[in-house]
Amino acid sequence: MNIILNKAREYEMNHEGAIKLQKPDFHLASRVGWMNDPNGFSVYNNEYHMFYQYHPYSASWGPMHWGHAKSKDLINWEYLPTALAPDQEYDQFGCFSGSAVTLDDGKHLLMYTGVKKVKLPNGEETDIQTQCIAIGDGVNYKKHPNNPVITADMLPEGCSKVDFRDPKIWRKEDGSYLCVVGNRPADGSGQVVLFSSKNAIDWKYEDILSYNGNRLGKMWECPDFFELNEKGVLLISPQDVLPQGYEYGGGNVTACLIGDFDNENNIFKEEINHAIDYGLDFYAPQSVLTESQRRIMVGWMANWDTNGLQNPGREWFGQMSIPRELHVINNRLIQNPVKEIENYRKNKVEYQEVTFKGNKTFEAVKGRRIDLEVIVKPSINCDEFSIKLAQDEVCYTAIKYDVKKSLLTMDRKFSGCRRAVLNEKSAIVPLKDGLLKLRLILDKQSIETFINDGDKAMTMLIFTDLNAEGISFFSDEEITLNLVKYDLVK
């Protein structure tokens, strides 16, 4: 084992004990140090494996390693030793995002972006980003002697040789392999390029799978492509997006492109696109096909513009979303928490057909590790309904619904944040058969909201002390409310 990798493994073992109690209970968090994008989300030897962008030595971004954990049920995660470290000439600046697949011989292959810095003739430095592989047994991985296996020299004229990263590999039914990689064309926007291989080692360029044309931000990071419910689905994470109504916020966002895919000729024709998550803290999603043929997605539950707000003085930063099961219905990506979370539900509390106006609380409806289902039927005169979560005398986070505008807003400006940053986000949510249906997963310092049976999702971190457990409801006019609340207990 090389010195750089061994150092990371020793460090995480020696430092993880002191921070265990700070972490969420039902979301995979960084073992120590910094976590961002999910990588290598895969099934290997009948277990789920999750790797992640990782800087073990501080709670801030640094030279990228791959952290590693595994799970039998997508909820309980067991940490494994650091899988990759920046220890080769071609990845000396970091082992950036990538994916994983199982080979015919039973080995586990990781595909990642290696980054190194080179000095230009004018004295400036630039990145060289290439795609590399490492093969192993689920714990230890050896980088391939042919690395890098995909280089920017394989791209057509006009494609950026600097922004070329985040390979997502998958296996076709005929046993061959495809991978998509994020790239920038000559117009400076974003695109996703496609490569093919017969053995996952020797690769050739195929085509541009999808092109941005400056319609949705700039560079398209972390692409993921799969077929689901007879549709082709491309997940992307565009950078530097200008807000587009309530569909896409500004900055770095996530988007889902849905269309037809010609499997024989590897041609994708986009029909529609929409946001994946309408909250503030969801990025770089990656999916896996389970052995039961479910498509499961997980994202990094953070925001590049506000990630420093929660880590002053802490030894760790970063967590993943609850894994979400996906479907495509009427050209829309539907997402709901995986059914496995229901195995951790305890202490059911239920209220049915409660009609009220003004403020309302319910006995035993409180907590910071809960699964809460709410169905609201507003009266014809109702303008506003809201839920306050993680509430005490000072702090709360609100979910507000403007009935007339069909506008759902998550608002954390009173959650304990002491910085002038964006703290609320909204989405257009029409009533469904006269009802608003919400499912809220709270896990210490995060709230994930699933709306109208998974039609939309909104994810947000909060900054509130864990002693703030109150939950209250408000309506300006009469409404009828049904709710079911469970504690989430390990």
pLDDT, tens digit, 9 for 90 and up, residues 50-89:
999 999 999 999 999 999 999 999 999 999 999 999 999 9
Give dist(CA 288, CA 294) in Å, integer. 8
pLDDT for position 311? 57
Amino acid 111 reads M
Cis check: omega of the bond before 24, within 30 degrees of 0: no
Give dist(CA 243, CA 331) in Å, integer. 22
Question: Cβ(128)–Cβ(116) under 8 Å?
Answer: yes
pLDDT for position 109? 98
**Rounded mean pLDDT of 322-340?**
98
pLDDT for position 310? 60
Two structure tokens written together for 200: 């996952």
pLDDT category at 198 given cuts 50, 70, 90 is very high
pLDDT for position 435? 97
| Element housing 3 (H / E) | helix 3-15
Q: Which domains does the chain carry?
A: 3-337 (2.115.10.20), 341-488 (2.60.120.560)
- Strand order of the sheet with strand 164-171? 164-171, 177-183, 191-197, 203-211
Phi and psi, residue 343, nearest 5° = -70, -15
Query: Tokens 């964006």 map to which residue?
Result: 422
Burial 194-216 (b: 16+ CB within 10 A, else e): bbbbeebbebebbebbbbbeeeb
**Rounded mean pLDDT of 117-136?**
91
The CA-atom distances, in angstroms, between 157 and each of 131, 161, 185, 385 are 18, 10, 9, 55
The most distant pair of C-alpha atoms in the chain lies apart, rounded to whole Å, by 73
pLDDT above 60 for 331:
yes
pLDDT for position 21? 67
- Strand order of the sheet with strand 231-238? 220-228, 231-238, 255-262, 267-275
Give dist(CA 191, CA 209) in Å, integer. 8
pLDDT for position 17? 83
pLDDT category at 308 given cuts 50, 70, 90 is low
**Rounded mean pLDDT of 125-130?**
92
**Rounded mean pLDDT of 194-209?**
97
230-260 pLDDT, tens digit per residue, is 999 999 999 999 999 999 999 999 999 999 9
Two structure tokens written together for 247: 């569909």
pLDDT for position 422? 87
Q: What percent of the chain has pLDDT over 70?
A: 98
Burial 14-42 (b: 16+ CB within 10 A, else e): ebbeebeeebbebbbbbbbbbbbbbbbbb
Give dist(CA 458, CA 417) in Å, integer. 19
pLDDT for position 1? 59
pLDDT for position 120? 80
pLDDT above 70 for 291:
yes
pLDDT category at 312 given cuts 50, 70, 90 is low
CB atoms within 10 A of CB 296: 20
pLDDT for position 42? 98
Question: Cβ(362)–Cβ(438) under 8 Å?
Answer: no
Residues facing residue 115 across a β-bridge: 94, 129
361 HSE (CA, 13 A, CB side) = 12
pLDDT for position 356? 96
Mean pLDDT for the chain overall = 95
- Active-site positions read 37
Question: Cβ(338)–Cβ(54) under 8 Å?
Answer: no
Per DSSP, the three-state class of 430 is coil
pLDDT for position 22? 77
pLDDT above 80 for 313:
no
DSSP string over 18-76: GGGGGS-SSS-B-SSEEEEEEEEEEEETTEEEEEEEEETTSSS--SBEEEEEEESSSSS
pLDDT category at 19 given cuts 50, 70, 90 is confident
Give dist(CA 209, CA 146) in Å, integer. 26
DSSP string over 362-427: -TT---SEEEEEEEEEE-TT--EEEEEEEE-SS--EEEEEETTTTEEEEE-TTSS--S-S--EEEE
Q: What percent of the chain has pLDDT over 90?
A: 91
pLDDT for position 201? 97
